[in-house]
Chains A and B, each alone.
Chain A
Amino acid sequence: MKPIDLFEETYGAVIVNKVRSGLTMLGIVIGIASVIAMVAIGQGAQGSIQSSIQSIGSNLIIIMPGASRSIGSTVSAGRGSAETLTPDDAAAIAALPNVAAVAQEVSGRYQVLSNGQNTNTTILGTTSAYPAVRNVQVDQGNFITDADVAVSNRVAVIGPTVLQDLFGSTTATATPAMALDATIRIKGVDFKVVGVTLSKGGSGFNNQDDMIYVPLSAAQHYLLGTSAYLTEVDVEASSEGAMAGVQAAITNLLLSRHNISDPTQADFNVLNQADIVAAASSVTNTFTMLLASIAGISLLVGGIGIMNMMLTTVTERTREIGLRKAIGAKKKDITLQFLSEAVMLTFTGGAAGIVLGWLAAFLVTYFSGTATSVSLGSVILAFGVSAAIGIIFGYYPARRAAGLSPIEALRYE
């Protein structure tokens, strides 16, 4: 039997029972559509989490001080509270191979006044390398320069959220031009605004939009009153492949600089951006798996529907099978005919399901704003799965048809 004839037979048989074929297909359509939509929602969530992690900088390694404990006490003040990281450590890290840039940070939260309005926000003392390392872009004006850091200039670069809080109102949006060259008062000290950063769209903790950047030295002199310790060091590795090596090198360097022989007792933490991405990904992966397996169950039910219909079809067409065998159809021909019927049903259902699932994902994005992403991989997988379901659930009925004795089949009433 030629493939074209097989297709013709199959198409004819499927089209004869339009309603029944349609309803059976519907099970697969819903199954595939929900798999596609669920995976799209899961992958969309993963994508948006990953991109927000990527937005804090590329090839980024963050070093934070460890937890501080008072002498004779076991009470921990929490990670990052110890005063163990020094500007000299940062300079030594900058000298390591494969380190592209190093930004030092000190930070604190203070009340900020300007223009008759006030807000409480994070003040970050840093160096000129910060925008490159942490992926921050200046909208208008300029960022803190090396010269500012060298002479402790009282200049500030403000984030868009701070700009709105200090210069805008409930009815009007503040423009960067309104803030440039204005004076803001942080902890009673006047700073001149020299730049406004572009919005990064972040939210929650460590929101880089809700921040004021000042020179590292100015923050130490005027705000913190200390110049000895850093609250964070950001390191940009020269490439993604070099990150693990750089991370290990930093750990070894700091252990020896801080005279610590047991790595478990380290007074600092080195966080790799890839680790953060991996941790977040594993959460969203679990989420995606959960959604996909729920959808998979409906696909399984659809498959059983296909099998049920195929078994009914085989019984109904017993005489036809007998006739086909009498006029020379082999077992293989009959098996193929019924198998391809099942595959045609699931494949058509799968194609419709992909379109429907894609549409559902699109509507979810359109109405709820949740990011979704229909990947080529999940489409190919859906096609593969629907064809496989056709073969798996069509095989038993097809074998049953092929195994019928032509005499019995012809006698069947």
Chain B
Amino acid sequence: MMRTIIECRNIRKTYRTGNEDTVVLKGISFLINEGEFVAIMGPSGSGKSTLMHILGALDTPTGGEYFLDGRNIATFTDDELADIRREKIGFVFQAFNLLPRATVLRNVSLPLVYAGVEKEKREKIAEAALDDSAFPKAFWRHHSNQLSGGMMQRVAIARALVNDPALILADEPTGNLDSKTGEMVLHTFQSLNASRGKTVVLITHEPYVAEHAGRIIHILDGTIVSDKKNDARRIARKTDDEAHETH
């Protein structure tokens, strides 16, 4: 029996603007087990970003229960959510969100700074995470704003790995990349999932990207329209030449 990482029970989210309530999520329920690679897909305005925020403990639902790694975090305070994010979740964003003037190593070890890990230990863990995300060693001491987009995203992936999270949550990770480097990033996710057993949740609006996952959840207008195993799974090719290209 696989361990359940994510359990959503009838999650609702309502935004109040002025006197009008906008219902964004209208009762979402699903389970994600350890080691799964799930894509959450939907057009913009479908509520997938809001769902991503709730799954990522960046926001709390207005109704329902959300168990992350066995804990119901629907009612947590801001600081408690910060702890949950630090311990359980590794984020990969569309816009990378690296500190531009910090080195690659510094960027990757940043979550450990907030965890209070010693510098030497921190850098060891960061180096291991960079190896896992196939980031070339030659660029470890470079500033992150000297890297190409694909390289930046791999730094972000390494950063998502350093705290050994239960869940890697990627929000449109290929949205700012060309198809070749996007392929490369998808390959990294797939290999992390396949060889290291990492649970990956990927949010995207592109069917092509979603097809790299083992399971696809379709969202439309705040409800799940389909949730099925992906039988025609695409396998991303490893393209290594990009590693030598810098801006």
Contacts and interface: CB of A to CB of B under 8 A. Distances in A.
Interface of A: 1-2, 4-5, 9, 12, 16, 319-320, 322-333, 406-407, 410
A327 B53 contact: no
Interface of B: 53, 56, 58-59, 78-79, 82-83, 85-87, 91, 93, 95, 97, 99, 101-102, 110-111, 113-116, 118-119, 159, 163
A413 to B, nearest CB: 9
A211 B111 CA distance: 82
B82 A319 contact: no
11 contacts: A1-B116, A2-B116, A2-B118, A323-B93, A324-B114, A326-B85, A327-B110, A328-B163, A331-B78, A407-B53, A407-B58
A8 B39 CA distance: 38
Contact of A327 (B86, B116, B119): B86
Contact of B101 (A12, A324, A325): A12
A316 to B, nearest CB: 12
A18 B88 CA distance: 37
Contacts of A327: 85-86, 91, 110-111, 114, 159
A330 B114 CA distance: 8
Contacts of A330: 78-79, 82-83, 114
A12 B102 CA distance: 9
Nearest to B122: A5
Contacts of B110: 324, 327
A10 to B, nearest CB: 12
Contacts of A329: 82, 114
B82 A325 contact: yes
Given A2-B113, A5-B113, A328-B115, 20 more contacts: A1-B113, A9-B113, A320-B97, A323-B93, A323-B97, A324-B114, A326-B58, A326-B85, A326-B91, A328-B86, A328-B87, A329-B114, A330-B82, A331-B79, A332-B79, A333-B114, A407-B53, A407-B58, A407-B59, A410-B97
A50 B113 CA distance: 57
Contact of A326 (B56, B78, B115): B56
Contacts of B83: 328, 330
B106 to A, nearest CB: 9
Nearest to B110: A327
A322 B82 CA distance: 11
Contacts of A2: 113, 116, 118
Nearest to B101: A16
A12 B99 CA distance: 11
A328 B116 contact: no
Contact of B111 (A5, A319, A322, A328): A328
Contacts of B113: 1-2, 5, 9
Nearest to B85: A328
Contact of A328 (B59, B82, B93, B95): B82
Residue picked from B58, B59, B86, most chain A C-beta under 10 Å: B58
Contacts of A322: 97
Nearest to B52: A407
Nearest to A413: B95
Contacts of A331: 78-79, 82
Contacts of A12: 101-102
Contacts of B163: 328
A4 B119 CA distance: 9
A320 B82 contact: no
Nearest to A6: B113
A217 B83 CA distance: 95
A391 B167 CA distance: 38
Residue picked from B97, B115, B116, B159, most chain A C-beta under 10 Å: B97
A406 B91 CA distance: 12
Nearest to B117: A2
Contacts of B58: 326, 406-407, 410
Contacts of A9: 113
A404 B181 CA distance: 33
Contacts of B91: 326-327
A385 B199 CA distance: 52
A325 B56 CA distance: 12
B102 A328 contact: no
Given A407-B58, A410-B93, A1 B114 contact: yes
Contacts of B102: 12
Residue picked from A1, A324, A327, A406, most chain B C-beta under 10 Å: A327
Contacts of A320: 97, 99
Nearest to A319: B97
Give 6 closest A-B pairs by Cβ, nearest first.
A328-B86, A323-B97, A327-B111, A328-B114, A330-B82, A330-B79
A322 B59 CA distance: 13
A290 to B, nearest CB: 46
Contacts of A328: 82-83, 85-87, 111, 114-115, 163
Contacts of A324: 110, 114
Contacts of A407: 53, 58-59
A232 to B, nearest CB: 76
B26 to A, nearest CB: 20
A323 B95 CA distance: 11
A336 to B, nearest CB: 11
A406 B159 CA distance: 17
B230 to A, nearest CB: 28
Contacts of B116: 1-2
B174 to A, nearest CB: 18
